[in-house]
Amino acid sequence: MSSNGPRAPSNGRPQHQDTQAAASSSTEPNGNNARSVSISIPPAVARPRKTSFDGGNASLVSSIANLCNTIIGTGMVALPGAFVYTGWLLGVFLIILCGCTGALGLYLLTRCANKLGGRRQSFFSVALKTIPKGARWFDLAIALKCYGVSISYLIISGQLMPQVVLSFLKAAGHEHEAIPPLLLDRDFWVTLLVVLLMPLCFLRKLDSLRHTSYLSLTAVAYLVVIVVVFAASPTARSTLPERGEVHALVFSPHILAIFPVFVFAFTCAQNMLPVYNELSASDPLMHLDRAKSAIGSAIGGAGSVYVAVGVLGYLEFGSNLGDNIIAMYPSSSVFVAVGRLSIVLLTIFSYPLQVHPCRAALDKVISPPSQRPGIELPAGDDERRNTRNDEDEDEDDEDDARGYETLLASQTSLISSAGGSPPDEISLQRWVSLTAFLLATTFSVALLVDDLSIILGFVGGMGSTTISFILPGILYSSLHDDGDRFKRPAKVLACWGLFVGVVSVTSNVVKLTHSAVNNGGDGKADRLAALVGRSAEVWKLAAEARRAQK
């Protein structure tokens, strides 16, 4: 028996009906009608159009872990020392203040990304829709901030590793003289850690670092246990150095200089948009809700850890608490040695989380997508956005996201048809070159600078305030009209960030200059401070020589 093949519909009927009719009217070669056989072929179902939300595969847990690991790093080690200049009560207040303002900045960023829609949002793409002329400058601020933080991670890891070696060998009964000098060399450990971190720094997706983030959070929990045990056990507390004075409030002139440490402790805005882009969600509103959950969990968890470690650490050591709380505990205890090793793991696994956004921002600074050959980015629909009336905030967010999906899809299609990559993607050659550059330069600077407070002070004063306060406030205010209920808080946040940044940078410059002059560039002074001091002396001698000639 032969049958006619499927035919294209010619009379308006669906194709499967024509196929079924053809099968029923089949005839044998002798012309006799054969038994009718009814074959029903289901209609072809068109594949659903892939939307911008299909690309997210990061879970909420992994997103929270990456944000927490970005937040909790050297801040957890250095922040308790800031309580010496604030007292425990003011210190707790500053933690809450910086946590709330940091969370507000993150939320404003996610609302900007949600308004534009899609999963290819970055500071650069948002700035192109709001303040195009400032896009490269914004990414430059991000690159500088992440660059400084990554250096501080290498510094503190290099400082801790000799202490870890000493702790384990002393606990095993070995004398200090039996330890090879190489194992006590800070520069050796910085070099080794950079080599070990290289494979992680070349990963493309931020979510690929989730397993190291899980391990880092385990280290955080272990440090909290150490602080609690020494605070609760009289026997353990008796092994600590003599406690200094403890105050609820301390009004010190160093408060302005130390404030960036609190700001830096909650900075993770550089990874907020990558986390938002990779977070799994089925629609824009769900995307925003899951991002809010990630922000609240990460900021709340980090703040709780800071309060516990800061208050208990300050009560244990008082005014004698140093810049690195883990260095204050007995070096001969295996319990503490494991904690020091855990902090090293926490800091080195946070290093790739800073290289990732630094590389992306630096790529935009060097070669903006709008200036790459064959690529012309479509302009945003500013007129439509400015004429909107945001009476129902949730409905507006969903409408805006859907509207801008088409814009971003056309942008990606345009670039793909030209044989290129989307503007937020870095070519393999540039990816390798930029990563190698960051690894080499951060490694070199970490060998030259050995004072953690200088790095934290300048990073907090310039980079962290810009990323956490100023940029979210400016971008949100530019993207939303006057009827938006978050526009006024956004403006206040930007002004607050500008004030804090100016005061903090000025205070740290004065502190650095005085440190260089007072120490005279001796071996105990920081190498960078000594360099500044020598430069100041040269300028002073040159000025005196010019006056003598006159």
Cβ atoms of 321 and 237 within 8 Å: the answer is no
d(CA 310, CA 93): 12
What does the pLDDT read at residue 265?
85
Residues of the chain scoring pLDDT < 70: 1-55, 74, 369-424, 451-460, 515-550
What is the maximum alpha-carbon separation in the chain? 125
d(CA 202, CA 439): 10
For the segment 290-330, what is each residue's pLDDT rounded down to a tens digit? 999 999 999 999 999 999 999 999 999 999 998 778 878 88
d(CA 194, CA 286): 39
What does the pLDDT read at residue 147?
87
Residue 382 lies in a domain: no
- The answer to whether residues 288 and 327 belong to one domain is yes
For the segment 509-549, what is each residue's pLDDT rounded down to a tens digit? 777 777 655 555 444 444 444 444 544 554 455 556 556 66
- The answer to whether residues 23 and 64 belong to one domain is no
What does the pLDDT read at residue 44?
44
d(CA 21, CA 43): 14
Cβ atoms of 154 and 190 within 8 Å: the answer is yes
Nearest to 289 by CA among 52, 50, 63: 63
Nearest to 125 by CA among 282, 274, 283, 278: 274
Cβ atoms of 460 and 149 within 8 Å: the answer is no
For Cα atoms 367, 371, 377, give the angle at the middle one, nearest 5 degrees: 120
Residue 269 lies in a domain: yes
Q: How many domains does the chain have?
A: 3
What is the value of pTM for the model shown? Answer: 0.74
Cβ atoms of 108 and 297 within 8 Å: the answer is no
- The answer to whether residues 535 and 486 belong to one domain is no
Residue 415 lies in a domain: no
Residue 52 lies in a domain: no
Cβ atoms of 512 and 532 within 8 Å: the answer is yes
What does the pLDDT read at residue 40?
47
Residue 206 lies in a domain: yes
What does the radius of gyration of the chain's CA atoms come to, in whole angstroms? 30
- The answer to whether residues 466 and 532 belong to one domain is no
| E-state strands within 246-404 | none
What does the pLDDT read at residue 25?
44
Q: What is the DSSP string of 438-488?
A: HHHHHHHHHHH---HHHHHHHIIIIIIHIIIIIHHHHHHHHHS-TT-TTHH
What does the pLDDT read at residue 457?
64
Residue 414 lies in a domain: no
Tell me the residue length of the chain. Answer: 550
- The answer to whether residues 153 and 36 belong to one domain is no
- The answer to whether residues 495 and 528 belong to one domain is no
- The answer to whether residues 162 and 15 belong to one domain is no
Alpha-carbon 240 to chain mean position: 35
**Residue 60: which H helix or E strand, with range?**
helix 60-71
Residue 172 structural domain: 58-369+420-512
From residue 134, alpha-carbon distances to 52, 123, 127, 471 in Å are: 26, 10, 7, 10
End-to-end CA distance of the chain: 117
Nearest to 274 by CA among 424, 391, 386: 424
- The answer to whether residues 2 and 62 belong to one domain is no
- The answer to whether residues 7 and 129 belong to one domain is no
d(CA 144, CA 148): 6
Q: What are the b/e assignments for 116-151, b being 16+ CB within 10 Å?
A: bbbbbbbbbbbbbbbbeebbbebbbbbbbbbbbbbb
- The answer to whether residues 62 and 29 belong to one domain is no
Amino acid 398 reads E
Nearest to 147 by CA among 449, 373, 416: 449
- The answer to whether residues 38 and 105 belong to one domain is no
Residue 404 lies in a domain: no
- The answer to whether residues 170 and 90 belong to one domain is yes
Residue 394 lies in a domain: no
For Cα atoms 427, 431, 433, give the angle at the middle one, nearest 5 degrees: 120
User: What CATH number should be reported for the domain holding residue 72?
Assistant: 1.20.1740.10
Cβ atoms of 71 and 265 within 8 Å: the answer is yes
CA torsion sign for 508, 509, 510, 511 is positive
d(CA 385, CA 431): 35
